[in-house]
Structure 1
Amino acid sequence: MENSLECTSPSLSRRKLLNFLTGAALATTAGAALYPVAKVFVPPVEKTGVGGAVRAKDKLGNPIPASQILIEPPGTRALVAGIAAQPTYLTLQNDGTLSDRGIVDDCTHLGCTFPWNEQAQEFQCPCHGSRYAPDGTVVRGPAGLPLKLVRVKVEGDRIWITPWMETDPRTGERPWWV
């Protein structure tokens, strides 16, 4: 019997196998249940074009075709979702094209959103009374800084909004938001 092989127990016992299978089943179930919860807290990554450009979107996040805005009368201010979904005003010029500048709807005093007052031809913040000229410069405080600008470009039927990084044409200085 010296030539016979020893009987040794297998490296994976029945108990270890069952523990492994139970743990794997619990991990899979927990992962499947927590995935939708995690998706709520992680914002979606927005696809950007050249220079950080994003498509102008409506309040539901659908891209807005340029033709939808260009049929409006000259002087119309269209409110769209721009960079980081910030509300942004686009202006239709007298020649029927969109202005190359957009104005972010975010009061520089305390961050309130504000409407365009057609009769007064100015942006009026309802929170503390700040007023802005059509180009976004301060007409009356308490806001001390002009409104943030973005660059607007139309390509085909797409409206692209890009961060404004150049000199602010209203002040001739480096933009405060850069």
Structure 2
Amino acid sequence: MDQSVPLAADASLSRRQLLNFLTGATVATALTASLYPVGQFLVPPGEDTGADGSVVARDRFGTPIPASRILQEPPGTRALVAGLAGEPTYLVVKEDRTLDTMGIVNNCTHLGCTFPWNPLDQQFQCPCHGSLYAPDGTVVRGPAPLPLKLVHVAVANDLILISPWRETDPRTGMKPWWV
């Protein structure tokens, strides 16, 4: 007994079907190739984080900043670096030429403006609506409703590591508002 399956009479592709298949494959390949760069542009790059969520402090061009470069500044200097998620963060050089273990994120809690440190008045001054912050980031004058966000700062192998602050806020003694 013959167990073979008979072939259909028109099992081969016609010329029109072949051209339609090749055209569809070409369009799909071109569309995929053009959408890939658009998708890469729209998705932000991942950040290399440590086990505790720490990132390396970087300058405005994305280059890691060596701790030795910031520690050459005089005590009391507030250096602005890119920290967690690229947020501008102030680091403080202490009197003993080390970095303070607490950094202050440079985003006003009123409307998110960035602001400068005024060394003459010894306070952060938001130019948008006049909020003033003490050196530790507490509100001196509103309209800012909350103190500035804190981050942990550590130095390892001449790299500055910035990690999220999840513990009690030492300025208020309460759970941080940003957690």
Provide the TM-score with structure 1 as the length reference.
Answer: 0.92
For residues 99-129 of structure 1, what are the alpha-carbon distances to aligned partners after superposition, in whole Å with 9 as ceiling and x for unaligned? 1000000011111110000111100000111
Unaligned runs of 5+ in 1: none
Q: Secondary structure at the match of 2:52?
A: helix
For residues 20-72 of structure 1, what are the alpha-carbon distances to aligned partners after superposition, in whole Å with 9 as ceiling and x for unaligned? 22111111111212222222211111111121111111111221111221111
For residues 67-99 of structure 1, what are the alpha-carbon distances to aligned partners after superposition, in whole Å with 9 as ceiling and x for unaligned? 221111111111011111110001111111111
TM-superposed deviation, 1:145 = 1.0
Name 2:3's counterpart in structure 1.
Answer: none
Name 1:168's counterpart in structure 2.
Answer: 169
Residue type of the alignment partner of 1:149? L
Name 1:36's counterpart in structure 2.
Answer: 37
* CA root-mean-square deviation: 1.5
TM-superposed deviation, 1:10 = 2.2
Taking the aligned partners of 2:11 and 2:155, their CA distance within structure 1 comes to 70
Name 2:178's counterpart in structure 1.
Answer: 177
Taking the aligned partners of 2:74 and 2:51, their CA distance within structure 1 comes to 30
Name 2:87's counterpart in structure 1.
Answer: 86
TM-superposed deviation, 1:139 = 1.1
Does the C-alpha gap of structure 1 residues 136 and 26 become closer, same or farther in structure 2, counting only changes over 3 Å? same
Taking the aligned partners of 1:112 and 1:45, their CA distance within structure 2 comes to 25
Q: Percent identity?
A: 67
Instruction: Say if 2:156 is the partner of 1:129.
Output: no
TM-superposed deviation, 1:144 = 2.1
Taking the aligned partners of 1:88 and 1:7, their CA distance within structure 2 comes to 73
Does the C-alpha gap of structure 1 residues 7 and 45 become closer, same or farther in structure 2, counting only changes over 3 Å? closer
Taking the aligned partners of 1:142 and 1:7, their CA distance within structure 2 comes to 81
Name 1:152's counterpart in structure 2.
Answer: 153
Q: Secondary structure at the match of 1:102?
A: strand
Q: Secondary structure at the match of 1:159?
A: strand
Q: Secondary structure at the match of 2:101?
A: strand
Residue type of the alignment partner of 2:138? T
For residues 111-170 of structure 1, what are the alpha-carbon distances to aligned partners after superposition, in whole Å with 9 as ceiling and x for unaligned? 111000011110000011111111101111111211000001110111111110000001
TM-superposed deviation, 1:6 = 7.6
Taking the aligned partners of 1:143 and 1:29, their CA distance within structure 2 comes to 51
TM-superposed deviation, 1:11 = 4.5
TM-superposed deviation, 1:7 = 7.5
Taking the aligned partners of 1:126 and 1:33, their CA distance within structure 2 comes to 43
Name 2:75's counterpart in structure 1.
Answer: 74
Q: Secondary structure at the match of 1:162?
A: strand
